[in-house]
A and B are shown apart, each in its own frame.
Chain A
Amino acid sequence: MKQNKLDTINTSGFKVPKDYFSQVEAQILNEVDLKNKVEVSGFHIPDSYFETIEKSIVQKLKDEQRVKVINLFSWKKTIYASAAIAACLVLMFNVFYNTSEVLTFDSLETASIENYLEQEDYTSYELASLLTEEELNINNFTDTEISEESLEDYLLNQTDIEDLITQ
């Protein structure tokens, strides 16, 4: 049996990466060279800059917080704006739905129709075209009793004697 005595352990078990020692030498020399050439950056700061910077930052923060109070995005304005938009929408819906309501002659006043007929320029042909043939039934003439008086009136006022003679 192999004995794990101290005198039998030849190596420590520690290892280094390949080419470590040649590399580390070059790295150290490079850095030493560079430090010899230029050690400091040459950057300077204004006198007492670090003493005043804290105050400036705290002041800036305070200013920003104060500005925050006057918020560009105000809830009040948003509420007003949305109320206005809602009102417009309601109005638009009302207008559109109302116009879609069907207009009938029944809903018109007779006087309005009379006015229209009096004022508008139309011919009797146009008026006749609105009447369907069914409406002009022969029964209208046979069933309607015309009193002798009105017939007499009509004949006296509307007809010429020539018309009657030619027929």
Chain B
Amino acid sequence: MDNDQHFIERLKHPATKELAYKELLTLYKERLYWHIRHIVKSHNDADDALQNTFIKVYKNLDNFKGESKLFSWMYRIATNESLTLIKKNAKRLHINTEETQDYLVNNLKADVYFEGDDIQLKLQQAIMILPEKQQLVFNMRYFQDIKYKDLSDILETSEGALKASYHIAVKKIEAFLTQD
């Protein structure tokens, strides 16, 4: 957003806060939803994480210093909320990281809002065995077409490193899908 500064001021000012926040919701709900959904996989978890994200955004608007762009700040909150939710679920079920992947796959199979074919389920399995950072880069680049420049801002990593991560991820997934 080009007029980021002006928008942030409106978000912070008590008189314009409510209206600006609603604009923010309209503007980002879908993008953040898909970002979250690709991390947590099931719709119900995504719904929870999305609501928590926006509530956290609202509560922390006054602390937002504008050091990074508004959208990358929100993406970071969404990422943290999603990863926290997964960890919380794992803790609740007393399962380790590997079992969490199985849990997510099963969750996905049971999710009425996943109408994937076998190949799509396999793609998700391939993504889940990647390291966390590669998962994030792949999901944001492959499904959401986020530019490397913006990715670099969100994940606080250099563009070069992100490109390398992405290509490694694509290669691994491609290998996983063709292995049998």
- A contact set with B: CB distance below 8 Å: 26-27, 30-31, 33-34, 37-38, 40-46, 49-50, 53-54, 56-58, 60-61, 64
* A–B pairs, 21, beta carbons within 8 Å: A27-B171, A31-B170, A33-B174, A34-B142, A34-B177, A41-B143, A42-B115, A42-B124, A43-B41, A44-B114, A44-B115, A45-B33, A50-B30, A50-B33, A53-B29, A53-B50, A54-B29, A57-B25, A57-B51, A57-B55, A61-B58
Residue of B with least CB distance to A42 = B116
Interchain CB contact (< 8 A) of B22 among A30, A33, A43, A54? A54
From residue A58, how far is it (CB to closest CB) to chain B in Å? Answer: 7
For residue B167, CB closer than 8 A to chain A, the reply is yes
From residue A97, how far is it (CB to closest CB) to chain B in Å? Answer: 51
Which chain A residues border B115 with CB–CB below 8 Å? 42, 44
Query: Total contacts A to B, CB within 8 angstroms?
Result: 80
Report the Cα distance A158→B51, complex, angstroms: 107
A54, B171: Cβ atoms closer than 8 Å: no
Of residues 111 through 158 on chain B, the ones whose CB sits less than 8 Å from some CB of chain A are 113-117, 119-121, 123-124, 142-143
For residue B3, CB closer than 8 A to chain A, the reply is no
- Report B32-44 CB contacts with A as 1/0, cut-off 8 Å: 0110011001010
Which 9 residue pairs are nearest across A and B when measured between Cβ atoms?
A42-B116, A42-B120, A44-B113, A54-B25, A57-B54, A27-B167, A38-B123, A30-B170, A30-B174
For residue B173, CB closer than 8 A to chain A, the reply is yes
Which chain B residues border A56 with CB–CB below 8 Å? 51
Which chain B residues border A44 with CB–CB below 8 Å? 43, 113-115
Report the Cα distance A42→B173, complex, angstroms: 16
Residue of B with least CB distance to A44 = B113
